[in-house]
């Protein structure tokens, strides 16, 4: 997606025009060779930053989808836990009532055994729901971190595009001062790229 955005801005064409202009004017204005080289380096750095931004955006979306899935699974596990808890309480109450009514000991024991089994299943459901919630939080945190990295690379791409555009303008209107500003912008973009890769 980021690659398409770079092409839409037209910085690639500006860079080509800057290179052509540099070749034409190379003998007359030697600073244009430095401009052509810096523009090419900025274009390469922008391409790398664009790929990384896309990669981290995809990673963030994937992790957020996984977090949503874990959230749904945790909600199901908590519902299952509640159902087992209700069944346990119901069986305990039935066993108490049957004891009061002097029902056969076998029937009362069966009710108590069933209540105990529901209690164990309830504990297992609680552990599973808790584990799923922890996985959800982990995926959300990973997603947040990936989005932060994506933004860092996206800023790098934007600043590098500005540097490329300024370089092209400097070549077209033959102003070395604008190229200096482009180099400063480009250095900032490269700095963000390096910070993102670190």
What is the total residue count of the chain? 198
pLDDT digits over 11-25, tens only?
A: 677 767 776 766 665
pLDDT digits over 54-82, tens only?
A: 999 999 999 999 999 989 989 988 888 88
Q: Binning pLDDT at 50, 70 and 90, where does residue 122 land?
A: confident
Q: Binning pLDDT at 50, 70 and 90, where does residue 150 land?
A: very high
Count of structural domains within the chain: 1
pLDDT digits over 88-115, tens only?
A: 888 888 888 878 887 788 888 888 888 8
**Whole domain around residue 88: which residue ranges?**
2-197
Tell me the pTM.
Answer: 0.66
Count other C-beta atoms under 10 Å from residue 121's C-beta: 17
> Which ranges constitute the DSSP H helices of the chain?
2-9, 11-25, 31-100, 105-173, 176-197
pLDDT-above-70 percentage for the chain: 88
Q: Binning pLDDT at 50, 70 and 90, where does residue 153 land?
A: very high
Least confident span in 13-17, 179-183, 191-195: 13-17
């Amino acid at each position: 997606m980021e690659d398409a955005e770079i092409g839409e801005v037209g910085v690639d064409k500006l860079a080509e025009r800057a290179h052509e202009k540099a070749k034409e004017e190379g003998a007359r204005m030697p600073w244009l060779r430095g401009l052509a080289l810096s523009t090419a380096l900025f274009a390469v750095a922008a391409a790398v930053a664009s790929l990384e931004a896309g990669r981290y955006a995809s990673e963030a979306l994937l992790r957020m989808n996984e977090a949503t899935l874990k959230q749904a699974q945790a909600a199901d596990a908590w519902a299952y836990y509640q159902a087992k808890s209700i069944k346990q309480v119901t069986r305990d109450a039935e066993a108490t009532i049957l004891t009061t009514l002097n029902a056969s000991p076998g029937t009362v024991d069966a009710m108590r055994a069933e209540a105990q089994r529901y209690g164990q299943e309830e504990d297992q459901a609680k552990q599973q729901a808790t584990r799923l919630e922890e996985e959800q939080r982990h995926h959300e945190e990973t997603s947040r971190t990936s989005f932060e990295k994506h933004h860092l690379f996206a800023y790098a791409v934007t600043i590098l595009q500005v540097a490329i555009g300024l370089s092209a303008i400097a070549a077209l209107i033959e102003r070395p001062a604008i190229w200096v500003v482009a180099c400063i912008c480009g250095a900032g973009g490269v700095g963000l790229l390096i910070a993102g890769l670190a």
